[in-house]
Each structure stands twice: as structure tokens, then as C-alpha cells.
Structure 1
Amino acid sequence: MKILLKEDSNKGLAMARENEKRDGMMTYSIAGDALIIIDHTEVDPAYYGKGVGKQMLYKIVDMAREKNIKILPLCPFAASMFKKLDEIKDVLKS
């Protein structure tokens, strides 16, 4: 599975693709030079429980680290992952 990131002016998207099919997406808003807000996660039911959402989140976390920005997870899935996973809390907006 490939995770792609796309951004335009103030919106971003992590997309999980396999065999030319979109299997999941996680959207975020760019709230300035130092903050993004994850607002939605969607995974194809065929991929529930297979870590697709986590892979998309990790792709966004890696991008945030590269750009030295913080993440505010308003999406319930992303918020729950930030509570569970200590290894990504370095990019969490406090």
C-alpha cells in the first residue's frame, strides 16, 4: 500500500492507495506555518483493522517533523491515536 500526501493552499490529504484504488484518506487544514489540524479520517471497510489509518497518520507525522510543525487532531481517530502512541506526541499541539 502506498501513502501519498497532497496539499493545496490551505488543505492537505494523506491518501492510501493500492491497485489504483483509494483505500483511505485523512484530511487536514493548514492553519499557518506552524500548525495543521487533522479533521477527518476515512478507511474503506475492507481495510478496517489493517492499520491503514495509522499508516496515513504516520505519513502526516513524518511530514510535520520535516517541516517542524505541530498537529492538532480534531478527528476522533487521530485524537485517539495520539493518546495511545507516545512515539508521535512530539508533534502534538499542546
Structure 2
Amino acid sequence: MFAIYACARHQVTPKECHLHAVKRIFRYLKGYPKLGLWYPKESPFDLVAYSDSDYGGATQDRKSTTGGSQFLGRRLISWQCAMDLESST
């Protein structure tokens, strides 16, 4: 998830290194064509959420990144990733 988000940050003014990163992501996805999400009816209803933040860790612009994921049992049901609009000081 983070690799895709990191590449998406540069889609307005991409450089060659960003193109190489996107190609690596596509090579990974091509190597695992049967990956997918499956939610059987008999799965237990155990809702678990995780989150993480990196306050000002981006060396280029000092913006914070926050992300999270929610699982139902062992299966991912949602995720999010966001960057602050303001730079950390």
C-alpha cells in the first residue's frame, strides 16, 4: 500500500526513478496473478484496526503521513493513507 501511495505523490511531475518504482510494483503484481480478497460466510466476526503515523518523516517536504487498515477476521476490509497539507516544523 505504501509503495503505491509514495508513487502517486509524484504523478503530477514524475521523474524516471518514479517510473522504475511503478514498473517494480507491476512486476510484483504480474508475478502473483491469483492474489485477491475472499470473505467466506463462516469467518469469525473479529474486527481489528491498526494505524501508524510518520510525523514529518518525508525528507523532501517534511509532511506527515498517516495510514491505517481494518480487518474482519484475517481479511482486509478497508485501508487508508493520507498526507498532511502542512509541513511539520
TM-score, structure 2 normalization: 0.28
Identify, as 1 or 2, the structure richer in helix: 1
TM-score normalised according to structure 1 size: 0.26
Q: Which has the larger radius of gyration?
A: 2
